[in-house]
Amino acid sequence: MTTPVDLGRPLVRLEEVDSTNRVAAELAAQGAPEGTTVVAEAQTGGLGRLGRAWSSPRGGLWLTTLLRPPAAVAESVATLALVGGVAVAETARRLIAGPGPTPEVRVKWPNDVHLNGRKVAGVLGQVHPPGVVLLGVGLNLNVFPDDLPAEVRPLATSLAQEAGRSFDPEGALGTLLDELSAWYGRWLAEGFAPVRRRCLELTATVGRTVWVSGPGLDFTGEALDIMDDGALLVRSGGRDVVIRAGDVSVRAR
Ligand code: BT5
């Protein structure tokens, strides 16, 4: 038997903050235990990857949970971001389940969750300070297009927008913490394999033609697989390329 993981204890609730990842980093530096979670109603400086901004108006679920994985933190961060992606996708599936057409929830490598083809959530995994992974999750819960900057609107959606109803934020927070705890618990007990399997079932990327961009990267290829370390394997021009950092856009066939 493995010890159940209980992320969200202690839970630090803030009304408005620049970034929950920043606050969680401070708490980590002060020795906060694994599972400490910072949740804010709004962020004024929400962080995305690679210096990008994450728009965080009221109505969303913005949180960072502090993990102290047993070993090799730097190597774990990519697989832990996918733990976050799968947990958020399962949360979205549970919340939105109901009568009517089944909404399509997909994990888009490396850190997005898409709902009916648009970004509903993003995950930010940061190693900071040493030995700690800060797993930041932004889920557009009761967020509407007018709440988001014009350039983000066409690519984004929210659970409320797709479901045509609003969601109880406390219930959603509970579901998200349950799913994060369950998937992190699995990762601790069994490694990345079960997370990878679920990721491949829910993937928006593998098996598709993708455009890869990022530092030193700019090409199109076929996404073949997610590797054991969380990297994406892409075949391009007869060569297999392992993508560890970068962005991937799915191209129409
Ligand atoms: C991410 O970055 O998707 C990671 C986002 C993580 C946000 C959470 S919120 C709680 C915690 N505290 C933080 O400060 N951050 C974490 P990336 O893949 O770089 O995507 C950023 C891009 O997504 C932006 O450049 C926009 O195009 C788009 N975007 C920004 N805000 C969005 C939103 N609310 N919904 C959908 N797309 C958004």
* Domains of the chain, earliest start first: 11-201 (3.30.930.10), 209-250 (2.30.30.100)
User: Is the previous residue joined to 10 through a cis bond, with omega within 30 degrees of 0?
Assistant: yes
Tell me how far the alpha carbon of residue 196 lies from the centroid of ligand 1, in angstroms.
22
CA distances from 159 to 67, 71, 73, 114, 156 (A): 27, 36, 32, 10, 11
For 116-192, where are the alpha helices, taking DSSP H only? Answer: 159-163, 169-190
β-pairing verdict for 37-43 and 11-17: parallel
Tell me how far the alpha carbon of residue 239 lies from the centroid of ligand 1, in angstroms.
31
Q: Report whether residue 13 contacts ligand 1, using a CB cutoff of 6 Å.
A: no
Tell me how far the alpha carbon of residue 134 lies from the centroid of ligand 1, in angstroms.
15
Q: CB neighbours (10 Å) of residue 246?
A: 18
Q: Is a pLDDT exceeding 70 seen at residue 3?
A: no
Q: How confident is the model at residue 1 (pLDDT cuts 50, 70, 90)?
A: very low
pLDDT for position 2? 57
- Extract the tokens encoding 136: 């930041």
Q: Report whether residue 126 contacts ligand 1, using a CB cutoff of 6 Å.
A: no
**Average pLDDT of the segment spanning 211-228:** 93
Q: What's the N-to-C CA distance of the chain in angstroms?
A: 46
β-pairing verdict for 209-214 and 37-43: unpaired
Q: Report whether residue 124 contacts ligand 1, using a CB cutoff of 6 Å.
A: yes
Q: What does the pLDDT look like over 91-147, one tens digit per residue? A: 999 999 877 778 899 999 999 999 999 999 999 999 987 889 999 999 999 999 999
Cβ atoms 48, 105 nearer than 8 A: no
- Extract the tokens encoding 34: 């694994």
Distance from CA of residue 126 to its chain's centroid?
12
pLDDT for position 253? 46
Atom of ligand 1 nearest to the CA of 56: 34
Atom of ligand 1 nearest to the CA of 55: 31
Distance CA 64, CA 34 (A): 11
Most ligand 1 atoms within 8 A of CB, residue of 23, 44, 54 to mutate: 54
Q: What does the pLDDT look like over 157-193, one tens digit per residue? A: 999 999 999 999 999 999 999 999 999 999 999 999 9
DSSP assignment letter at 117: T
pTM: 0.96
**Nearest residue to 128 via CA among 43, 229, 53, 20:** 20
Atom of ligand 1 nearest to the CA of 148: 34
Cβ atoms 48, 122 nearer than 8 A: yes
DSSP codes joined into one string, 52-73 = -B--B-TTSEEEEEEE--SS-H
